[in-house]
């Protein structure tokens, strides 16, 4: 400890200083979500893994943690899908191609695409914008298709108008061995698909719990029910991964806002193996 304090060297990087990035493309997704394709001005790739997040910054407004929704296999640009929900995201929604943002990160843990998921069947279970970070893993799996077994994608949206990435489902399924099921909480006049909460999709798939890994991401209320549904089908907590939202203000394990009990989510999360957090009272 004394070494760093007594050091005359003051060359350490500033952990709070964002890197400039440029908006390359903006796409409207729903009434409240937009997709932004970004590129770091340095030309470097972001260097992330699926499931990690960045702190997005607009000078004068502030920063917010946003999960990365594209896979590192898709080149040096990266994509964020942003729901308009607070002051920063409201401002982000006004950005056009050519505009600048600040980026810190990538931060946090990732879906174990190169370890636990590899060689296994994979179930992705996503509610609403929970599909945003998971899409990064789906792309990663699609781009390395032979490394994985059967893939199940279960997606639940509030209404048909809230569905995300609708023009990509076909591509996700095209390599084969992919089961894509979706449902909406509340149908509209034109919806002919399933209606009901996401847990209703779990009994619809056939899988071997011994060689399957599940990834869950969605609104806070969703986790308990999905976990119960998976355990009823014989899934062990060791094979279930969850991505948890918290207020990750600093991203570097200092500011305290994202803590689940003793765990700084920005450091040990947002992706957790379920068996490692079941005794944490504040987790789920």
Residues found near another protein in the complex (CB under 8 A): 1-2, 4-7, 10, 12-18, 20-21, 57-64, 83, 85-89, 100-102, 220, 245-247, 249-250, 252-262, 267, 281-282
Residue 72 Cβ, how far from another protein at the closest point, in Å?
A: 22
Residue 18, number of CB atoms within 10 A of its CB: 18
Q: Which residues of 132-170 are buried (b: 16+ CB within 10 A; e: fewer)?
A: bbbbbbbbbbbeeeeebbbbbbbbbbeebebbbbeeebe
User: 60 or 176, CB closer to another protein?
Assistant: 60
User: 87 or 171, CB closer to another protein?
Assistant: 87
User: 71 or 109, CB closer to another protein?
Assistant: 109
User: 57 or 243, CB closer to another protein?
Assistant: 57
Residue 48 Cβ, how far from another protein at the closest point, in Å?
A: 17
Residue 60 Cβ, how far from another protein at the closest point, in Å?
A: 4
User: 2 or 206, CB closer to another protein?
Assistant: 2
Residue 113 Cβ, how far from another protein at the closest point, in Å?
A: 24
| C-beta separation of 226 from 235 below 8 A | no
Residue 163 Cβ, how far from another protein at the closest point, in Å?
A: 19
């Amino acid at each position: 400890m004394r070494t760093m304090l007594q050091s005359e060297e003051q060359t350490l990087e500033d952990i709070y200083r964002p890197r400039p990035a440029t908006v390359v493309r903006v796409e409207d997704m729903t009434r409240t979500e937009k997709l932004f394709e970004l590129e770091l001005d340095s030309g470097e790739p972001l260097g992330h893994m699926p499931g990690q997040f960045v702190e997005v910054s607009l000078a004068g407004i502030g920063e917010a943690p946003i999960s990365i929704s594209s896979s590192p296999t898709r080149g040096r640009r990266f994509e964020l899908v942003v729901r308009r929900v607070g002051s920063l995201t409201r401002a982000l929604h006004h950005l056009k191609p050519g505009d600048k943002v600040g980026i810190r990160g990538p931060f946090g843990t990732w879906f174990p695409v190169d370890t636990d998921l590899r060689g296994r069947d994979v179930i992705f279970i996503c509610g609403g914008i929970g599909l945003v970070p998971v899409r990064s893993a789906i792309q990663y799996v699609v781009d390395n298709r032979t490394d994985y077994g059967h893939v199940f994608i279960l997606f639940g949206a509030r209404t048909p108008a809230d569905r995300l990435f609708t023009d990509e489902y076909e591509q996700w399924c095209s390599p084969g061995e992919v089961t894509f099921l979706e449902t909406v909480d509340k149908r509209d006049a034109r919806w002919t698909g399933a209606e009901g909460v996401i847990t209703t999709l779990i009994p619809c798939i056939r899988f071997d719990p011994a060689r399957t890994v599940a990834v869950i991401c969605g609104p806070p209320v969703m986790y308990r029910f999905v976990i119960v549904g998976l355990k009823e089908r014989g899934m062990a907590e060791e094979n279930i991964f969850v991505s948890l939202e918290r207020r990750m203000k600093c991203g570097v394990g200092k500011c305290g806002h994202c803590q689940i009990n003793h765990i700084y989510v920005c450091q040990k999360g947002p992706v957790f193996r379920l068996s490692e957090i079941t005794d944490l009272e504040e987790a789920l």
